[in-house]
Amino acid sequence: MKIILLENVEKVGRKGDILEVAPGFARNYLIPRKLAMEVTPGNLKSVEMQQKALRKKLEKERLTYQELIKKLNQVTLTFVRKSSEKDVIFGSVSAADIQEELARQGFDIDRKKIALDEPIKRLGTFSVPVKVYHEDRAEIKVVVVKEEAPAPDSQSEPTA
């Protein structure tokens, strides 16, 4: 059965796509949930008009996100952590830590968009991708440095 998607459906397609799907899937799932409609000449015309408007809107959004990507590419976040002699930090730097630090700098980025495969557990400089807009990504620089131990007090010795 040929259908037109009215919404993005994960693992099926994007809004406006014309697809061939199983009739049962279309009748029992997609159409009742208003995720799709059957292909007819009238429906095709209305979808074409909607797609033109959607393309204009998406292009405008993309330009806005391009500016955000440029700003994020210049961001460097520094985290100070206690570490062992082998440069393994106690604890880690997670996506939540990165999101919190970005929020302090004025960026409203969802934690799920920070593509950190696993938390950072070593000292060093890391490049962390951030999903900004569909496939567009920014790269932020994360620097993890060793926390310096406090210097021993020279006044702790009694003076006579």
Strand order in the sheet with 2-5: 18-20, 2-5, 36-38
Q: Is the pTM of this model over 0.75?
A: no
Q: What is the DSSP string of 94-106?
A: -HHHHHHHHHHTT
Position 158 pLDDT exceeds 60: no
Q: Domains plus CATH for the chain?
A: 2-61 (3.40.5.10), 69-146 (3.10.430.100)
**Run of H or E including 50:** helix 41-73
pLDDT tens track for 10-61 = 889 888 888 999 999 999 999 999 999 998 888 888 878 887 887 898 888 8
The encoded tokens of residue 12 equal 């099926």
**Listed residue (35, 32, 27) closest to 10, CA to CA:** 35
The encoded tokens of residue 66 equal 């391009």
Instruction: State the Cα–Cα distance between residues 57 and 25, nearest whole angstrom.
Output: 30
